[in-house]
Structure 1
Amino acid sequence: MTGQEDRGDPTTPEAQFDEVVNIGAELYEKAETFVGSLFQTQNLYQIGIAIGLAVLAHLLRALLGPRIRAWMGSRENWPKWRMRILVVIHQRLRAIFFVALIWATVFVMREVTWNSRSYMLSIIATLALAWLVIVFLTRMIKSKFIRKVVRYGAWTYVTLQILGLLEEAEGLLDSAGFEIGDIRFSLLLLVQALVVLGATITLARFFTTTTAARIRTNEDISPSMRVLIIKGVQIAFYGIAFYTGVRALGIDLTGLAVLSGAIGVGLGFGLQKVVSNLVSGVIILLDKSIKPGDVISLGDTFGWINSLGARYVSVVTRDGREYLIPNEDLITGQVVNWSHSNDFVRLDIHFGTAYHDNPHDVRRIAIEAAQSVDRVLKTRPTVCHIVGFGDSSVDYILRFWIQDPTGGLTNIRGNVFLALWDAFSAHGISIPFPQREVTVMEGKPLQAATSEADPEAPAKQADP
Structure 2
Amino acid sequence: MNTDLSGQPEFVQDAAAFAGEALLMLRDWALSPEAWIQFGLLIAAYLLALLISLRLKGKLRLALTPDAGAQGALPAMRRGLLLFLPLLMPLLAYAFAALGETVALSVFDEGAVIAFGKRIFLFLAVRSFVHHILSDPLLKLVGRYVLVPVAALYALGLLGPLMSYLNALTVTLGNISFSVMALLRGVIAGSFLFWLGGWTTRQSAEFIEQQKDMRPSLRQLVAKVIEFGIFGIAFLLLMNIMGINLSALAVIGGAIGVGLGFGLQKIASNFISGVILLVEGQATVGDYVELDGGQAGRIVKMTARSAILETYDGRWIVVPNEDFITTRVINYSDAGSANRYEAPFSVSYDTDINKVPAIIEAAVATHPGVLSKPYPPDCELRGFGDSGIDFAVEFWVNGIDDGPNKYTSDVLFLIWNALKDNGIEIPYPHRVLEIKGQMPKASA
- Asked if these proteins are the same fold (TM beyond 0.5), I'd say yes
Does residue 1:250 correspond to 2:278, yes or no?
A: no
Taking the aligned partners of 1:417 and 1:430, their CA distance within structure 2 comes to 15
What is the CA deviation profile of residues 193-239 of structure 1, one whole-angstrom value per residue up to 9, with x for unaligned ones?
A: 21232343344334433433332222332111221222122222212
Residues 256 and 28 (structure 1), Cα distance of their counterparts in 2 relative to 1, 3 Å cut = farther
Aligned counterpart in structure 1 of residue 381 of structure 2, from 360, 379, 386: 386
Shift of 1:389: 1.0
What are the superposed Cα offsets for residues 340-368 of structure 1, whole Å, 9 maximum, x if unpaired? 27611111111111111011111111111
What do the CA deviations read for 1:149-191 (whole angstroms, capped 9, x no partner)? 3576556666767877554322222334455676544432221
Q: Distance in 1 between matches of 2:53 and 2:133?
A: 24
Unaligned runs of 5+ in 2: 1-8
Amino acid at match of 1:99: L
Matched, 1:266 2:254: no
- 1:347 is aligned to 341
Residue matched to 1:325 = 319
2:413 maps to amino acid: L
Aligned residues: 429
The aligned residue for residue 3 of structure 2 is none
Q: Corresponding residue for 1:288?
A: 281
| Aligned-pair CA distance for 1:301 | 4.2
1:421 Cα offset (Å): 0.5
Q: Say which structure is richer in helix.
A: 1
Q: Which residue of 181, 190, 193 corresponds with 1:197?
A: 190
Identity of aligned residues (%): 28
Taking structure 1 as the reference length, the TM-score comes to 0.77
314-323 or 380-389, which deviates more? 314-323
1:458/1:68 CA distance change after superposition, 3 Å:
same
Q: How many Å apart are 1:297 and its aligned residue? A: 2.7
Q: Aligned residue for 1:234?
A: 227
State the AA in 1 paired with 2:353: P
When Rg is computed on C-alpha atoms for both structures, the one with the higher figure is 1
Paired with 1:67 and 1:248, the residues of 2 have a C-alpha distance of: 40
Give the 3-state SS of the residue equivalent to 1:350 in structure 2.
strand
User: Is 2:313 the partner of 1:315?
Assistant: no
Paired with 1:238 and 1:315, the residues of 2 have a C-alpha distance of 27
Deviation at 1:416, TM superposition (A): 0.4
Q: Is 2:345–2:390's contact at 8 Å kept on the other side of the alignment?
A: yes
Q: Is the 8 A contact 1:197 1:246 kept in 2?
A: no
5+ residue gaps, structure 1:
1-16, 448-456
* Distance (whole Å) between structure 1 residues aligned to residue 279 and residue 218 of structure 2: 7
What TM-score do you get using the length of structure 2 for normalisation? Answer: 0.80
Change in CA separation of 1:124 and 1:402 when aligned onto 2, cut-off 3 Å: same
State the shift of 1:124 in Å: 2.8
> CA offsets per residue over residues 71-119 of structure 1, 9 Å max, x none?
87784254462354254234x1xx4224325644764796798365866
| Correspondence 1:377 to 2:382 | no
Q: Distance in 2 between matches of 1:56 and 1:322?
A: 60
Relative to structure 1, the CA distance from residue 76 to residue 52 in structure 2 (aligned partners, 3 Å threshold; closer, same or farther) is same
SS of match in other structure, 2:253: helix
Task: Determine helix, strand or coil for the equivalent of 2:354.
Answer: helix
Question: Does the residue aligned with 1:114 lie in a helix, a strand or coil?
Answer: helix
Q: 1:53 to 1:88 in 2, by over 3 A?
A: same
Which amino acid in the other structure matches residue 426 of structure 2? I
- Corresponding residue for residue 405 of structure 2: 410
Match status 1:334 vs 2:328: yes
Give yes or no for the alignment of 1:212 onto 2:211.
no
Distance 1:29 1:198, change over 3 A: farther
Describe how 1:19-168 pairs up with structure 2 within 5 A.
35-36=26-27, 38-39=29-30, 40-47=32-39, 50-51=42-43, 54=46, 75-79=67-71, 81-82=76-77, 84-90=79-85, 92=86, 95-101=87-93, 103-104=95-96, 107=99, 114=107, 120-125=113-118, 128-129=121-122, 132=125, 143-149=136-142, 153=146, 167-168=160-161
How far the C-alpha of 1:313 sits from its partner, in A, is 1.3
Residues 1:254 and 1:176: Cα distance change in structure 2 (over 3 Å): closer
